[in-house]
Amino acid sequence: MPRPEKHVFICAQTRAEGHPRGSCGQTGAVDVFQSFANEINQRQLMGKVALTSTGCLGPCQVGVNVLVYPEGVMYCQITPDIVPKIVEQHLMNGDPVTEKIAPAEIW
C-alpha cells in the first residue's frame, strides 16, 4: 500500500453501559466508520486516505471522535450525516470543517 496523504482515526472505544465517561462505541462509532469507508470507496480515495478504528482518543463526552493526520485535526460529535462534508471539504480539498473541530479546551 502506498503512503496515504491523509489518515483518519475513528474512536471505537466501548465501555460498559452507564460508565461515567461514556464511549464513542455507544454513540455510533460503527456507523461513522462505515460512512467514512463508503465515502472513501465511492470517491476512489483508497491509497490516498487510510482509515483506522482506534481505542480512546480522549474526549469521550463529545464522541464520536475522529482524528485526521497529518494535520492533527480532532473532530467531535461526528455522525454519519457530516461524513460526506468532511471527506469532500477536508480530505479532498484540505479545508477542515470548522464547525465540528473539537474545542481547544479538550484537544
Q: What is the mean pLDDT of the chain?
A: 94
Which residues neighbour 96 within 8 Å (Cβ) at sequence distance 6 or greater? 68, 71, 73, 89, 90
Cα of 96 vs its chain's centroid, Å: 12
Q: Is the pLDDT of residue 98 over 80?
A: yes
Mean pLDDT of 20-38: 92
Whole-model pTM: value is 0.93
Q: Residue 59: helix, strand or coil by DSSP?
A: coil
Q: How confident is the model at residue 1 (pLDDT cuts 50, 70, 90)?
A: low
- How is the chain split into domains, by residue range? 6-100
Sheet of strand 6-11, all strands in order from the earlier edge strand to the far edge: 49-54, 6-11, 66-69, 73-75
Q: Is the pLDDT of residue 2 over 80?
A: no
pLDDT exceeding 90 applies to what percent of the chain? 77
Q: How confident is the model at residue 22 (pLDDT cuts 50, 70, 90)?
A: confident
Length of the chain: 107
CATH 3.40.50.150 fits 6-100, yes or no: no
